[in-house]
Amino acid sequence: MVQSCVRHTKDGGSKIMVFIGLTQEQVKQLENEVVPKRARLQLIRLLRGSVSCDDTNLTIARTNNVLNICQHVLGRPTSIIEKDGNGDYFFVDIGWIRSEFECVFRRPDTAELIEILADLIQNAWLDCNEVNNILSSNGCEFCFTGHYMSEVSVEITPVESIEEEAEFEIQNIRTLLNRMDMALSSTDYPGVLHASASILETLAKDTLASPTILDQSLGAFFAKYRANSHLPAPVLDYIHAIYNRRGTEPLAGHGSVTPPTITETEAVVISEMTKAFLRIERKLSSVCINLSSSPRATP
């Protein structure tokens, strides 16, 4: 269960349990969960519709309120805006707020994104069912329950409950990581190599977020991934080498009568490096977004 607290009404009447944050156990569970860029795009489109109205000043005020909710979760400065002598917001503030608003689902890691979504559902900016539909259609293994008049909770699907064959074009990375760990623990070292290559191919597809490459293997679009990835060249070379070796290592990519050559040491290194690359790519992506923003927020 998520952490929660009781909200009292001013007149001492009804009490409402509200979302207060993920537990440490849930954060750990979500360490390797990846929310695809496509899902983040659909979520920001949904949120745009929620804050928009016919009154420009009211739309900006709503946008700023939502932005500050998100900034709190990310530990970033909140924004305070003022009106000019005519009762309108300054154009420079409007531009900054709208630009920052577009990044609220791009910056956070998975755990932060979930807390932001929970806060927005709890505060009636997003509808729980609409959010869940987006998450489900993009292969995410978590969902929300509750609404602004009740406690919002997060439910995470255990890795062991995820179907072996995912229904989505890009399989969930947690599933593949679990498969890699199981292969390592059972001394199936070619299986580790196979799972690692699948994970890195999934990472590359999510980074590019292009529907034209969903049915392609990593080798077919690696040059494009190299041009768009935030990872340094030596890391990308290593990823390419893993992909190429999967195609030649006995039992890693194809059936073979030849014994595998991959060793336990190599399998352990591949497993740990794969997990590190996932975290680094996501972290560098967030850093690049942060560097592109203007420091107009008010502490």
Residue 143 has pLDDT above 90, yes or no: yes
Pair of tokens at residue 247: 């195609």
Domain boundary among 107, 128, 157: 157
Task: Tell whether 44 and 144 lie within a shared domain.
Answer: yes
Task: Tell whether 22 and 106 lie within a shared domain.
Answer: yes
Is residue 292 included in any domain, yes or no? no
Domain boundary among 139, 157, 175: 157
Q: Which has more confidence, 279 or 56?
A: 56
Range of the domain at 88: 3-157
What value does the mean pLDDT take over residues 287-295? 56
What value does the mean pLDDT take over residues 206-229? 90
What value does the mean pLDDT take over residues 237-247? 94
Is residue 269 included in any domain, yes or no? yes
Question: What is the pLDDT of the chain when averaged over all its residues?
Answer: 85
Confidence of residue 169 (pLDDT cuts 50, 70, 90): very low
Is residue 294 included in any domain, yes or no? no
- What is the model's pLDDT at position 30? 86
Task: Tell whether 198 and 266 lie within a shared domain.
Answer: yes
Confidence of residue 207 (pLDDT cuts 50, 70, 90): confident
Task: Tell whether 242 and 109 lie within a shared domain.
Answer: no
- What is the model's pLDDT at position 189? 94
- What is the model's pLDDT at position 194? 94
Residue 289 has pLDDT above 70, yes or no: no
| Domains of the chain: total | 2
- What is the model's pLDDT at position 257? 77
Is residue 295 included in any domain, yes or no? no
What value does the mean pLDDT take over residues 249-261? 85
Task: Tell whether 149 and 263 lie within a shared domain.
Answer: no
277: CB partners within 8 A, 6+ apart: 200, 203, 231, 235, 239
Is residue 299 included in any domain, yes or no? no
Task: Tell whether 37 and 173 lie within a shared domain.
Answer: no
- What is the model's pLDDT at position 49? 96
Task: Tell whether 10 and 139 lie within a shared domain.
Answer: yes
SS (H, E, C) the chain: CCEEEEEECCCCCCEEEEEEECCHHHHHHCCCCCCCHHHHHHHHHHHHHHHCCCCHHHHHHHHHHHHHHHHHHHCCCCCCCCECCCCCECHHHHHHHHHHHCCCCCCCCHHHHHHHHHHHHHCCCCCHHHHHHHHHHCCCCEEEECCCCCCCEEEECCHHHCCCCCCCCCCCHHHHHHHHHHHHHCCCHHHHHHHHHHHHHHHHHHHHCCHHHCCCCHHHHHHHHHHHCCCCHHHHHHHHHHHHHHHHCECCCECCCCCCCCCHHHHHHHHHHHHHHHHHHHHHHHHHHHHCCCCCCCC
Strands 142-145 and 3-8: unpaired
Task: Tell whether 29 and 104 lie within a shared domain.
Answer: yes
Pair of tokens at residue 229: 């990835």
Residue 70 has pLDDT above 90, yes or no: yes
Separation of alpha carbons 90 and 119, rounded Å? 28
Asked if 214 contacts 205 with a C-beta cutoff of 8 angstroms, the reply is: yes
Domain boundary among 100, 134, 157: 157
Separation of alpha carbons 267 and 77, rounded Å? 43
- What is the model's pLDDT at position 163? 45
User: What percentage of the chain has pLDDT greater than the value 70?
Assistant: 85
Task: Tell whether 66 and 121 lie within a shared domain.
Answer: yes
Is the pTM of the predicted complex or chain greater than 0.85?
Answer: no
Is residue 229 included in any domain, yes or no? yes
Is residue 65 included in any domain, yes or no? yes
Task: Tell whether 149 and 63 lie within a shared domain.
Answer: yes
User: What percentage of the chain has pLDDT greater than the value 90?
Assistant: 55
Give the range among 7-21, 76-90, 163-177 with minimum mean pLDDT: 163-177
Asked if 225 contacts 209 with a C-beta cutoff of 8 angstroms, the reply is: no
- What is the model's pLDDT at position 165? 42
Is residue 181 included in any domain, yes or no? yes
Give the range among 98-107, 203-212, 242-251, 267-276 with minimum mean pLDDT: 203-212
Task: Tell whether 150 and 170 lie within a shared domain.
Answer: no
Give the range among 19-28, 65-74, 155-164, 279-288 with minimum mean pLDDT: 155-164
- What is the model's pLDDT at position 292? 54
Confidence of residue 187 (pLDDT cuts 50, 70, 90): very high
Task: Tell whether 151 and 169 lie within a shared domain.
Answer: no
- What is the model's pLDDT at position 171? 52
